[in-house]
Structure 1
Amino acid sequence: MVVIRMSRGGSKARPFYNIVVADKRVRRDGSFIERLGFYNPTAKGGEEGLRVAMNRVTYWKSVGAQASPTVERLLKQAAKAAA
């Protein structure tokens, strides 16, 4: 199964997450099919905290990919900010 989930990057105490499409069997920070965006929970001031390519998310969902609960929450947040 193909899932849309977050892959952790950054350093200790400074997390940075890429929103990726990956096979469910691959480990969290392993290989992925496509990078759809990013989430920076420690963004301050003028830094961008969330960016998602919604057209690609729509495509992957149409072919059967399932988003994790956290990614679903972030997608709703991004759609609200875009509107």
Structure 2
Amino acid sequence: MAIKIRLARAGAKKRPFYQVVVADERCRRDGRFIENVGTYDPTKNPAAIKLNVEKAQAWLEKGAQPTETVRQLLKNAGVLGKAAAPTA
């Protein structure tokens, strides 16, 4: 079972709001997910990003693969750099 960290769209038409979720890659975009690790609101200036760093870090350590967009969000939040660093 391949696990992805990806965006699930919510919000009204022309007013996007996303949840950053951990889900099986076979599930639909807005369907069932395993855990919610944050939110992303691109309509704000600058875009509002709220992430639970501990949960995201734990899922990355378990082998979850982020999508390209989520990878950029995690990199900006400083989570991805921590996951790539080897532990001593």
| Letter paired with 2:54 | N
Instruction: State the distance in 2 between where 1:79 and 1:10 align.
Output: 27
- Runs of 4 or more, structure 1, over 2 Å off, are none
State the match for 1:35 in structure 2. Answer: 36
| Structure 1 residues without counterparts, runs of 5 or longer | none
Shift of 1:44: 4.3
Shift of 1:67: 0.4
Map of 1:15-26 to 2, 5 A cutoff? 15-26=16-27
Instruction: State the distance in 1 between where 2:56 and 2:38 align.
Output: 10
Shift of 1:12: 0.6
Shift of 1:79: 2.1
| Structure 2 residues without counterparts, runs of 5 or longer | 80-88
TM-score, with normalisation over the residues of structure 2? Answer: 0.82
Q: Deviations over 1:29-58 (max 9, x none)?
A: 00100000000000148xx71001111111
TM-score, with normalisation over the residues of structure 1? Answer: 0.87
Identity %: 45
